[in-house]
């Protein structure tokens, strides 16, 4: 038996995922620009910047009534992924 309500919600989630992919593409292009400005591999990880980003996400999540644990986990994973990406693509 097909649950129509569930299918409708899943379709909305699929559409949202497509938007996320577009945003990830845009973010990756910006990360590439940042990477071009870095002269040394030790510039890739900026712990001060990471702490600032996570604090901002926490504050914005609270303001928007979003579970902070979810957003913090997502951003930490994204930061780790982009750090790995930068190490793979560093060319100096």
Domain of residue 31, CATH code = 1.20.59
**Domain count along the chain:** 1
Residue reference for tokens 């990830």 = 24
Ramachandran angles phi, psi of 18, nearest 5°: -65, -40
Residue 56's domain comprises 4-89
pLDDT at 1 over 80: no
| Per-residue model confidence (pLDDT) at position 91 | 84
As a whole number of angstroms, the distance between CA 69 and CA 8 comes to 27
User: What angle, 0 to 180 degrees and rounded to 10, lies between the N-to-C axes of helices 68-89 and 4-37?
Assistant: 40
Are 86 and 65 in contact by the 8 Å Cβ rule? The answer is: no
pTM, full prediction: 0.89
Q: Would you say residue 30 has pLDDT above 80?
A: yes
State how far the Cα of 5 lies from the Cα of 12, in Å rounded to an integer: 11
């Amino acid at each position: 038996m097909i649950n129509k309500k569930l299918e409708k919600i899943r379709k909305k989630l699929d559409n949202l995922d497509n938007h996320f992919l577009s945003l990830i593409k845009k973010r990756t292009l910006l990360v590439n620009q940042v990477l071009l400005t870095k002269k040394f591999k030790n510039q890739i990880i900026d712990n001060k910047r990471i702490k600032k980003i996570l604090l901002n996400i926490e504050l914005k999540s609270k303001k928007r009534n979003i579970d902070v644990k979810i957003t913090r986990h997502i951003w930490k994973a994204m930061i780790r992924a982009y750090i790995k990406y930068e190490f793979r693509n560093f060319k100096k």
